[in-house]
Amino acid sequence: MNVLVLNAGSATLKFQLIRTDADRIANDQDERLAKGLVERIGGEALLRFESQGKPPKRSSAPIRDHRAAVDVVLRWLVSDEADTGLRSLADIEGVGHRVAHGGERFTRSVLITPDVVRGIEDMIDLAPLHNPHALKGITAAREVLGRDIPQAAVFDTSFHHTLPEQAYLYAIPYSLYRRYRIRRYGFHGTSYRYMAYRYRKLAGKTREDTNLVCLHMGNGSSACAIKGGISVDTSMGFTPLEGLVMGTRSGDIDPAVMDFIAAKEGLSIHDVDLLLNKQSGLLGVSGLTNDMRELLAEELEHEDRRARLAIELFCYRARKYIGSYLAAMNGTDAIVFAGGIGENSPEVRARILDGLQWMGVELNAERNESMTRGREGVISTDDSRLTAWVIPTDEELLIARDTMRLVHGLELPH
Catalytic residues: 156
Contacts of 307 (CB under 8 A, 6+ apart): 286, 288, 295, 296, 298, 299
Per-residue binding string, ligand ADP, 84-103, x by CB under 6 A, is --------------------
In one letter, which amino acid is 407?
V
Kindly tell me the sign of the dihedral angle through the C-alpha atoms of 58, 61, 67, 73: negative
Helix intervals (H) in 215-364: 256-265, 269-278, 281-286, 292-302, 305-329, 339-344, 346-353
Q: List the one residue out of 32, 41, 24 whose CA is nearest residue 3.
A: 32
**Cα distance between residue 137 and residue 115, in whole Å:** 17
What are the CA-CA distances from residue 168 to residues 214, 230, 378 (Å)?
18, 14, 31
Considering beta carbons, is residue 230 or 397 the nearer one to ligand ADP?
A: 397
Does position 345 bind ligand ADP by CB under 6 A?
yes
- Looking at 222, 344, 380, 387, which residue binds ligand ADP (CB under 6 A)? 344
- Looking at 9, 229, 243, 247, which residue binds ligand ADP (CB under 6 A)? 247
What is the closest distance, in whole angstroms, from the C-beta atom of residue 310 to ligand ADP in the complex? 11
* # residues near ligand ADP by CB under 6 A: 13
DSSP 380: B
**Cα distance between residue 15 and residue 27, in whole Å:** 24
DSSP 322: H
- Looking at 69, 123, 232, 296, which residue binds ligand ADP (CB under 6 A)? 296
Does position 293 bind ligand ADP by CB under 6 A?
yes
- Looking at 102, 237, 284, 339, which residue binds ligand ADP (CB under 6 A)? 339
Instruction: Point out the residue whose Cβ comes nearest to ligand ADP.
Output: 340
Considering beta carbons, is residue 293 or 308 the nearer one to ligand ADP?
A: 293
What is the closest distance, in whole angstroms, from the C-beta atom of residue 339 to ligand ADP in the complex? 4
- Looking at 21, 71, 271, 291, which residue binds ligand ADP (CB under 6 A)? 291
Does position 220 bind ligand ADP by CB under 6 A?
yes
Binding site for ligand ADP (CB under 6 A): 218-220, 247, 291-293, 296, 339-341, 344-345
